[in-house]
Amino acid sequence: MSENIAFHKLSVIVTTQNDAHYQEDLRHLNEINLNVAHRFSSGNAALDYIRFNPTHLIVTDIELRDMNVQEFIKSVNQQHRTRPVPVVVVSDTSSEDFVLDSISAGCSGFVVRPYTTETLKNHLVEVVKLDQLVEIDESVYEMAREKISQGEYDGAIADLQEIVENEENEADVYFQQGMQYLWEKKYGKAIVAFKKALQINGLYIKAYTGLAEAYKGKGDYENYKHYLQMAADEYARLDEFEEVRSLFTEILKCDPNAPNPYNTLGINLRKQGKYEQAKEAYKQALDLAPDDENVHYNMAKSYYFASELDAAIRYLTNALSINAGFDEARKLYEKLTGQEWTGSAARDEPGQGSGR
């Protein structure tokens, strides 16, 4: 696959204040036909450069003059939210906490010094292939933009609908895969899955914005407002992805042996009042441990605080069917139903009913 990657066409910058590291990285990059456009020792200088110059890849050392590498990665991603520039970290530090911090910040790859040219090449092939994942849809989007500029609104709408018509939000699917890989300590796969989620999410934002503009051009203000709201929802999801990824990595750093970190994640999100996100975390927890009464109880509490009482009762029933002596679940069941738990209610399987 690597032979099909036209490395020589990519605009690449390197960020490091360490001259020896720069010379090492430059040699390896030249050997795989990657030409370095610029080298920066300052993260802020690099950010200024990519703001105004097309950049396909950033290879960064962990030694920067004005900020740590995680701050730099976050700044790159914030500056180019809907289509981030891939950032590959080359590090002589490979502790689990440092890797998790880099993943939390949003790196596209992580290479440990000392490394071979082949190792770097393999990482960069995956990064470039990942960056090309949405290029076909991006080209459809660009054609739709051209049609909008020419007043061909129906054609633009048809093109853009192709991008967003998936029955299942692919960004969600990839994000959950990333969480699973992270828990399994498959960090390379986690990075790829998270990046796929964010790239697809960014494309949805642009497609919905384009649809809104096309419908506005047609004078259809109902659909104009609808697709603006869809774009706003995807922007919110982008923030959620980044926040949940960051929180999840913190949990794994504090408790790497947590038997069900999704449950812990759900608890933290619920305490912040983020009930929808908490429920998503608990769904993942139940996939890992469907017979854990604590997860069913925690899911019930999220529905209770979200004022969805039928679903809360359903999950309390599940918890008590597994463990009839679960006092906290009994008390909440009695509060919501006005009657004591008798053990007569049937348990719902995870994934059934409105509770899922």
Query: For the domain that residue 25 is a member of, what is the CATH number?
Result: 3.40.50.2300
Domain-ending residue, one of 97, 131, 165: 131
* CA angle (222, 228, 231) in 5-degree steps: 145
User: Is the pLDDT at 355 greater than 50, yes or no?
Assistant: no
H or E segment and range at residue 325: none
pTM assigned to the model: 0.72
Q: Which one is predicted more confidently, 336 or 277? A: 336
Q: Which of 231, 224, 213, 201 has the alpha carbon at shortest distance from 146?
A: 213
The SS3 of residue 335 is helix
Question: How confident is the model at residue 24, as a pLDDT?
Answer: 96
What does the pLDDT look like over 52-89, one tens digit per residue? 999 989 999 999 999 999 999 999 998 887 778 899 99
- Whether the per-residue pLDDT at 103 is higher than 90: the answer is yes
One domain for residues 98 and 7: yes
Token look-up 């995956």 returns 126
75 and 149 both lie in a single domain: no
243 and 140 part of one domain: yes
Whether residues 100 and 139 fall in one domain: no
Q: What percent of the chain has pLDDT over 70?
A: 90
Q: Are residues 37 and 13 in the same domain?
A: yes
Average pLDDT of the segment spanning 6-18:
89
Residue 311 maps to a domain = yes
The yes-or-no verdict on residue 344 having pLDDT over 70 is no
User: Are residues 69 and 121 located together in one domain of the fold?
Assistant: yes
User: Distance between CA 260 and CA 267 in Å, rounded?
Assistant: 11
Q: For 36-93, what is the HEC assignment? A: EEEEECCHHHHHHHHHHCCCCEEEEECCCCCCCHHHHHHHHHHHCCCCCCCEEEEECC
Q: Residues 87, 140: one domain?
A: no
Domain that holds residue 173: 135-248
| Domain boundary, last residue among 131, 153, 173 | 131
- Do 183 and 118 belong together in one domain? no
- Does 38 lie in the same domain as 8? yes
In a domain, 347, yes or no: no
pLDDT at 352: 37
150 in any annotated domain: yes
Q: Residue 89 has what pLDDT?
A: 96
In a domain, 166, yes or no: yes
**Last residue of some domain: 131, 153, 170?**
131
End-to-end CA distance of the chain: 40
Q: Does 203 fall in a domain?
A: yes
Does 31 share its domain with 117?
yes
C-alpha dihedral sign at 179, 180, 185, 188: negative
Lowest mean pLDDT among 37-46, 106-115, 167-176, 271-280: 167-176
Q: Do residues 224 and 270 share a domain?
A: no
Residue 324, domain CATH: 1.25.40.10
The pLDDT tens digits for 280-290 are 888 878 877 78
Question: Using CA atoms in the order 164, 355, 251, 268, what is the torsion angle rounded to 10 degrees?
Answer: 110
**304 token code pair:** 């209770």
Same domain, 74 and 142: no
Residue pLDDT, tens place only, 142-201: 899 999 999 999 999 999 998 888 656 788 888 888 888 888 888 988 998 898 888 888
Total domain count for the chain?
3
Torsion of CA 66, 67, 73, 79, to 10 degrees: -60
Q: Is residue 220 part of a domain?
A: yes
Give start and end residues of each alpha helix (H) in 94-186: 96-105, 117-131, 135-149, 153-164, 170-183
Structure tokens at 118: 């082949």
